[in-house]
Amino acid sequence: MRIFMTGATGFAGSHLVDRLLSAGHEIFTLVHPATSHQTLPGNPNLHQMTGDLLDPEAMIALVAEARPDVMYHLAGQAYPARSWSDPAQTIAVNTGGTANLLRATVEFGRPRVVVVSSAEIYGPIDPADLPLTEQTPTRPRHPYGISKLAVGELVRVYWERYTLPAIEARPFNHIGPRQAPGFVVPDFAHQVAAIQLGRQEAIIRVGNLNPERDFTDVRDVAAAYEALAQKGSPGEAYLICSGHPIRVRTILETLIELAGITAEIHVDQHRVNPTDTPCLYGSHAKLTAHTGWEPRIPLRQSLADALEDCRNRILSS
């Protein structure tokens, strides 16, 4: 099968590439050198195509050249906090880039498309409304969330107007090896690994440890994307999540235990978000009913692999 993919050098994208190559698919990846995070594997079935989501004519040409049977759109500005410093760019890349890709897909021949948005579209939630579902009212609280809410609406209207078989994936927090700094697990894991290796004093600086969040292994998320490409209903949205909340403090304590270290925990007020929602988790009932997908990799394994990845990065730096 021929696959066109954006975001292949990102966190989830790199794991999806591994999964698709192992299944024998031929992949054409859109690469934007200035924002690439991971090195793509050397494989004769993996073809790199340099381009920019914000160039609509180039996107049409690249999709036509790839002639995909399936498309995965994972690329975008992935940091909610960064969206406040440049909201227009975040909306341009995430929403405008998706619009350009969907337009190119309609021009080419309407292959199935999995478009990744985010559970960040929901915003503040009353505990009585948990777990979140696809029907939970949305109220994004930053430009990133707004950009991803618009992405989901584009999926819906392109299905309604052009019968483009596009599917929206709404992942919650995903964790595991290769995640870039700036997220809770790699930030904790890097400090823990540095202490374990004697590269840092035994002090871990943290923000608020009390919130509860929904964490899913990135390899399970990649499996969900593939399941949606095969069995998802066009024009529909699907939550990708574990289905239960985990306290952030538990993440830190598990990493410390796995590393076999002791350390002082210092709360850094610069890391504390005063508007943190106390608890946030979702239901994957719809995804499971439509595709049979379920999360399989336990939290402890995800954290062990993330810790090992951070150790290797420190040792190779």
Measured over the CA atoms of residue 51, residue 52, residue 53 and residue 54, the dihedral's sign is negative
pLDDT at 36: 61
pLDDT at 317: 87
Q: What is the mean pLDDT of residues 294-316?
A: 98
Q: What is the mean pLDDT of residues 271-283?
A: 82
Read off the tokens for 177: 């090896």
pLDDT above 70 as % of the chain: 98
8-49 tens-digit pLDDT: 999 999 999 999 999 999 999 999 876 666 788 899 999 999
Query: Would the pLDDT of 274 be above 80?
Result: no
Q: What are phi and psi of 269, to 5 degrees?
A: -60, -25
| pLDDT-based confidence at residue 109 (cuts at 50, 70, 90) | confident
What's the Cα-to-Cα distance from 184 to each of 41, 155, 188, 192, 259, rounded to whole Å? 27, 30, 6, 12, 17
What's the Cα-to-Cα distance from 291 to each of 1, 226, 284, rounded to whole Å? 19, 10, 11
At position 88, the amino acid (one-letter code) is A
126-175 tens-digit pLDDT: 999 999 999 999 999 999 999 999 999 999 999 999 999 999 999 999 99
182-218 tens-digit pLDDT: 899 999 999 999 999 999 999 999 999 999 999 999 9
Q: Could you say which DSSP state residue 260 is in?
A: T
| pLDDT-based confidence at residue 275 (cuts at 50, 70, 90) | low
CATH of 180-213+245-280+298-316, one of 3.90.25.10, 1.20.1250.20, 3.10.300.10, 3.60.21.10: 3.90.25.10
Q: Spell out the domain ranges in the chain.
A: 2-174+215-240, 180-213+245-280+298-316
Q: 2-174+215-240 maps to which CATH number? A: 3.40.50.720
Q: What angle do CA 298, 301, 304 make, to 5 degrees?
A: 150
Q: Could you say which DSSP state residue 310 is in?
A: H
pLDDT at 228: 98
